[in-house]
Amino acid sequence: MVLVDNYVVNTSTDSFDFIIVGAGSAGCVVASRLSEQPDCRVLLLEAGPPADNFWIRTPAGMAKMFKSERYNWRFHTEPVPTLGNRKLYWPRGKALGGSSAINGMVYCRGNRDDYDLWARLGNSGWSWDEVLPYFKRSENNMRGATPYHGGEGPLVVSDPVVKHPSITDFVEAARRTGIPQIDDFTGVEQEGTGILQANIRNGMRQSAYDAFIAPVRHRPNLVVRTGVHVRRVLFKDKEATGVEVLENGQVLAYQARQEVVMSAGALASPQLLMLSGIGDGEALQRHGIQTVMHTPGVGRNLQDHFTARLQALCTPESSYNADLNGWRKYMQGLRYILTKSGYLALSSSQAAAFVKSGPEIDFADLEISFRPMTFTYKDTGVVEVDNYHAIGASVYRVRPASRGEIQLRSADPLQAPAFIPNYLEAAEDVEAMLSGLRILRSILATDPMASRIVKELVPGPSVTTDEQLIDFMRREGHCAYHPAGSCKMGNDAMAVVDERLRVRGVRRLRVVDASIMPTVTSGNTNAPTIMIGEKGADMIRADTLKTSTFAA
């Protein structure tokens, strides 16, 4: 043992075939699939703790996870010039399951054209027809197996256990405005309005850890370690040999005989690559980091969904706010404990409409989500259900033109990097959002929803002009917590990984998570990230173990 940077360094020779960094939505899938090979030893590392908490398992507990010190990294962006220099809060999961342990649980694959675009950008093997088998393999849809859905996978996808009347009325009102009603957002056609499905099993959240790791944790060739903060990837002659970690106050080195797989997410994976010497060489030198590979695209191409929220007072029977306040909330709690049903067993949104912002748009570029309840973020970090009868809805452009980046603040792996999202930087994003707010208002002004609405609270009936709505978005808009694209897949000068998710210019290192998306998918990003884990694992098996589930 020696002392380096005030840490005790243990030159451990403990080695594995594969080391997966990050037990989130993709990392859990990769570890599970690779460890199906009995002679393949897999190490899954997670900086956060086990996700053994009642409120993590309870779907409504997402409110308590929103600013949890134990289970959430609680990041903030840099001041955003286009939003009046506001710093936006960016929650990220810090536990087994990653952000799938704290998210809204909505299951949405995006649009089939998202993946066909990836293929057209030069990423062979990523078209809709080629990724669909991986979506199906992961899925156990409670509606049963179909040509577009799996019925035997580990990840449960279910309908809401309670369908509040306002949910069906929202769908009907949207239909009456000319939006087609559809039964399945993840099949042939996404554009339309309908009920959202969620990753909820028997009334309980099903994170990626619950689905893919917990059932196979007993495998002798699968090692899962929590509380392990990876400091950097180790290289020898541009070949990844393992990782250096901070664990129990010691710096340890774990060796990888085959590959290191970076699945730390769209915020942490680019940071770890840069700390390891892969990034813009000039920027790395400013932090005293030796350049292993000059890859200027690391941290660039950052995309996220920017959202504007609407709230309206409604008739008492049109909201379940009252059921989650006062003595009624205890009745709901008892109902949940006894039956795993009721309003505590619901995802963040139960209905949505995917629409085009204008006739010139090729396919739906807006998501409007609806919920028959409202809540307020307190300065203390608590999320409280409002004590008045109200409904809430939100709109965001699912394929934003604006691009941000992630930059290192220092060479200290425990210090968060700088997140620069550049929301609404592109004028077309602003125009699309204006269209979305007007479409949302049109739905709420149409019966049967119109008869439920008493008065719009936010942004309010006096906010009507484009200038007023833009000002509202800049003052009050938030993000939908879907960062992606910061280690993009491709073959241009800014690409970080190739179509097989191998980091360009080095060997035995891949990135398998939402950061590889060339363009963010059209909707919630958890299901696509799980698909990336499935496909990434299959490519790793084909390239290194000479086995795969589907043709490579």
Residues placed in the known binding site: 103-106, 230
Report which of 38, 505, 529, 23 is spatially closest to residue 281, judged by C-alpha positions.
505
Q: Are 321 and 388 in contact (CB under 8 A)?
A: yes
Whether the bond into 461 is cis, omega within 30 of 0:
no
Pairing of strands 366-371, 351-355: antiparallel
Burial 359-397 (b: 16+ CB within 10 A, else e): eeeebbbbbbbbbbbbbeeeeeeeeebbeebbbbbbbbb
Sequence-distant (6+) residues with CB within 8 A of 190 are 110, 111, 112, 354, 363, 364, 522, 523
SS3 content of the chain, % helix, strand, coil (to 5): 30, 25, 45
Supply the DSSP string of 39-60, one letter for each residue: T--EEEEESS-----HHHHSGG
Q: Are 452 and 309 in contact (CB under 8 A)?
A: no
Residue 482 is a catalytic residue: yes
Report which of 504, 192, 542 is spatially closest to residue 364, judged by C-alpha positions.
192
Q: Are 223 and 217 in contact (CB under 8 A)?
A: no
Residue ranges for the known binding site for FAD are 103-106, 230
Q: Are 213 and 23 in contact (CB under 8 A)?
A: yes
Q: Are 76 and 70 in contact (CB under 8 A)?
A: no
Whether the bond into 459 is cis, omega within 30 of 0:
yes
Residue 435's identity, in one-letter code, is: S
- Rounded to the nearest 10 degrees, how much is the dihedral formed by the CA atoms of 432, 438, 439, 440? 110
Separation between Cα atoms, residue 281 and residue 279, nearest integer Å? 6
Write out the two tokens for 190: 């996404």
Catalytic residue among 149, 164, 478, 482: 482
Catalytic site residues?
A: 482
